[in-house]
Structure 1
């Protein structure tokens, strides 16, 4: 019996975001280990504001203590860099990538089970986001912290 849907939900979300690949974007599992100054990233299970990969809460689903309902929040991070000095383009690119995340977890022709993260959860949705903008030594960055919220029965 599974203790939590978190590991399977993260693995399924990564699979959905990696296939097919998104042009010129690295999709990472957990914290980046290389220099991320000059690449567009989508990171699942990490946020630059802290190392929290996911949250979850569980409650019994009914009397009898046979199954539990679990609410999961998977942390994600989108990072876009540019050697330019204006934020308009990097901000637009960050939201374009967030739109790609959202579109890929919706039921579509090529992936009708995406809202369940291919069966890992009962449903998933993009639920929270935060925009960050900064100047770096090599240019400017726009980043979006986001949460994919899920509901599972274990």
Structure 2
């Protein structure tokens, strides 16, 4: 018996983002970094700096009779944009451009009508929260923690 749509949804989100044309020059990482990555544009799915939770979920009965359950969950993510200079505005714009590509990848279009369902893994998924951090360290760094919220039926 299926107990959660979380594994399928995370896998599908990683695949959708890796296939998104607007993210072709962004390194999409499944989970936390395993090595010291030097790429200037990174996108992590299921990880945020300082966070212990990759996904948080809740389940409730869908209706009387306990035949199906509704599941709501939030997938943590993190964008990091770096430049070799001190131009914070440009670096921040790059981070938000990546966030915009995530939003685009999750929107239904004529070419991808099932995008909000992550290919059928969930009933819907959408971008719901974000927190910007900025630093100057060997150039400017903009970090953008974000949340993709999903609804599923199991």
TM tier, smaller: over 0.9
Residues 74-153 of structure 1 aligned to structure 2 (within 5 Å): 74-136=75-137, 138-153=138-153
Distance, in Å, in 2 between the alignment partners of 1:42 and 1:51 is 17
Q: Scaled by the length of structure 2, what TM-score is found?
A: 0.95
Provide the residue aligned with 1:63 in structure 2.
64
Q: Which runs of 5+ in 2 are unaligned?
A: none
Provide the residue aligned with 1:13 in structure 2.
13
Moved more, 29-38 or 44-53: 29-38
> What stretches of structure 1 move > 4 A for 4+ residues in a row?
none
Q: CA deviation at 1:105?
A: 0.5
Provide the residue aligned with 2:2 in structure 1.
2
Find the residue that maps to 2:64 and give its secondary structure. Answer: coil
Distance, in Å, in 2 between the alignment partners of 1:35 and 1:45 is 18
Q: CA deviation at 1:109?
A: 2.7
For residues 27-84 of structure 1, what are the alpha-carbon distances to aligned partners after superposition, in whole Å with 9 as ceiling and x for unaligned?
Answer: 0100011223442111100001313110100001111111100001000100001111
Provide the residue aligned with 1:49 in structure 2.
50
Distance, in Å, in 1 between the alignment partners of 2:20 and 2:117 is 18
Q: Which runs of 5+ in 1 are unaligned?
A: none
Q: Is the 8 A contact 1:38 1:82 kept in 2?
A: no
Distance, in Å, in 2 between the alignment partners of 1:25 and 1:58 is 33
Number of residue pairs the alignment of both structures matches:
153
Cα RMSD after superposing both structures: 1.2
Q: Is the 8 A contact 2:20 2:105 kept in 1?
A: no
